[in-house]
Amino acid sequence: MARVASLTIGDKKIDLPVIVGSEGEVGIDIAKLRQETGAITYDPGLGNTGACQSAITFIDGDKGYLRYRGIPIEQLAERSNFIETAWLLIFGKLPTRAELDRFAGRLGATAPLYPGFENQFSGYPKDAPPMAILSAMINTISCFNYDLANPDSDEAFEEAAARLISKVRTIAAAIYRMANALTYVAPDPSRSYVSNFLHMMFSKPGAAYELHAEVEDALDLILTLHADHEQNCSTSTVRVVGSSKANLFASCAAGVCALWGPLHGGANAEVLEMLGQIHAGGITADEYLKQVKEKKVLLYGFGHRVYKNFDPRAKILKEASDKVLAKLGVNDPLLDIARKLEELALKDSYFVDRKLYPNVDFYSGIIMKAIGIPVNMFTVLFAIGRMPGWIAQWKEQRDEGGRIARPRQIYTGPTRTDYAPIESRG
Ligand code: SDX
């Protein structure tokens, strides 16, 4: 591979350096482009633009590879767990037993919210969107941790990461309790990360949540599979906000807002809505796909900017959905509809030609529904899972000392125009 790319524009010809990544990805470094030619690149949606170099997550969209710090997602799904994976993403290697025990201790110790904090939730309407509250509360916890908002040592970063990863779970459960007029349940330090979340969500006075191992494993798997995904929309948001030297909490609160969108993390809830419409009998799977092809609706849970083959997470979740529902004794017709939609779409040239395959959101909601998570909390669970990835990416950018993100534009508005006094306006 040549180490330069030659570009001719008008009467100018320049050589631009070429960067090659550890997996052979090639990038043309255009840092000098505008200075030497006066031109900028144009790439709406940034599908062809590398915003950074990163050592955290590798995706090969054609081969369907997803690796966290080089480890295939299939191995982590099979042999690791969410908290160990969080450490791997943030600190770059699998933790030793001592590191894992220390981190688990921090997560348990920092799980409770602050005295009086639960009153913050009482002001919201019962039907307030959980993602709006989650973003607000992540910013709010920074007010109680301003000393850790810009952690400047490994020790401080480990504590800040633990506080965010632990408290996002406690906040999520409190949002659910408030929305359902249930009393707030304090965390139980004797429980594991996922077990404590389910306890805070579903325990009742005098009747602590009874944990089933298959439920804990299923939710831990979902969180592990969501933990990072290189430069997706919400992670890029965290990086852009962090590039102004905004603190870790504010950057992750912004990531929650980007994730909320139905084209991104909000898709898991849209999938259930779509399956529900078909199940309600208003429309058949074939008719729904016909509407998709007429561009009236999207096939939620399908398609991806990077994967032009199966999303490996979708394959894992598809297998898990069968096992989890069987173990829980849940027979959900929506799963059958999902499988029917997938079977029809994978045989239909409209989807095959556009390389549209199931993504992480297509099956995750069916498992979360079986566990008892309400649909309006699905994207909140996505945010809980993605928190380690946002933290890892924010740290990587901070450690590299990157410049503030400030893209250019191609201006298409009016050329110079004089101010017109109001009397002369039509
Ligand atoms: C996530 O980036 C990440 O890594 C995200 C994520 C992560 O872990 O962070 O993986 C999580 O967000 C997964 C995606 C969840 N979103 C959805 O399921 C919503 C439905 N999917 C689409 O909105 C879409 O596929 C996107 C947003 C995921 C990707 O959009 P792109 O890359 O901009 O694709 P595109 O719009 O250019 O699509 C190319 C063609 C178009 O048709 P034509 O103009 O060529 O005729 O495919 C069509 C699109 O209309 N198309 C779809 C479709 N996805 C693409 N048509 C119907 N249903 C779909 N889902």
Residue-wise pLDDT for 39-69, tens only, equals 999 999 999 999 999 999 999 999 999 999 9
Nearest alpha-carbon partner for 341 in 275, 398, 407: 275
CB atoms within 10 A of CB 275: 27
User: What three-state secondary structure class fits 63?
Assistant: coil
391-423 pLDDT, tens per residue? 999 999 999 998 999 999 999 999 999 999 999
The answer to whether the pTM exceeds 0.95 is yes
Nearest alpha-carbon partner for 381 in 253, 222, 166: 222
Site to probe by mutation for ligand 1, drawn from 302, 342, 386 as the one with most ligand atoms within 8 Å of Cβ, is 302
Atom of ligand 1 lying closest to residue 235 CA: 9
The CB-side HSE value for 43 (13 A sphere, CA atoms) comes to 9
Q: Is the Cα torsion angle 222, 225, 227, 231 positive or negative in sign?
A: negative
Please name the residues in contact with 243: beta carbons below 8 A apart, sequence gap of 6 or more.
Answer: 397, 402, 403, 404, 405
Ligand 1 binding pocket, CB closer than 6 Å: 45, 229, 232, 263-264, 267, 292, 298-306, 354, 356, 359-361
C-alpha of residue 165 to centroid of ligand 1, in Å = 28
| 281: pLDDT strictly greater than 90 | no
Q: Whose CA is nearest to atom 33 of ligand 1?
A: 305
Q: Whose CA is nearest to atom 13 of ligand 1?
A: 264
The amino acid occupying position 76 is L
Q: Is 361 noted as a catalytic residue in this protein?
A: yes
127-138 pLDDT, tens per residue? 999 999 999 999
DSSP 120-144: HHHTS-TT--HHHHHHHHHHHHHHT
Site to probe by mutation for ligand 1, drawn from 295, 356, 364, 384 as the one with most ligand atoms within 8 Å of Cβ, is 356
C-alpha of residue 350 to centroid of ligand 1, in Å = 14
156-210 pLDDT, tens per residue? 999 999 999 999 999 999 999 999 999 999 999 899 999 999 999 999 988 888 8
Strand ranges inside 167-313, DSSP E = none
Percentage of residues in the chain having pLDDT higher than 70: 100
Distance CA 162, CA 151 (A): 12
Which residue of the set 188, 361, 399, 418 is catalytic? 361
User: Quick one: pLDDT band at residue 333, thresholds 50, 70, 90?
Assistant: very high
C-alpha of residue 135 to centroid of ligand 1, in Å = 24
**116 or 230, which is more confident?**
230
349-393 pLDDT, tens per residue? 999 999 999 999 999 999 999 999 999 999 999 999 999 999 999
User: Quick one: pLDDT band at residue 277, thresholds 50, 70, 90?
Assistant: very high
The predicted structure's pLDDT at residue 1: 64
Mean pLDDT (the chain) is 95
The predicted structure's pLDDT at residue 147: 87
Mean pLDDT of 139-157: 91
Percentage of residues in the chain having pLDDT higher than 90: 89
Q: What is the DSSP letter of 38?
A: S
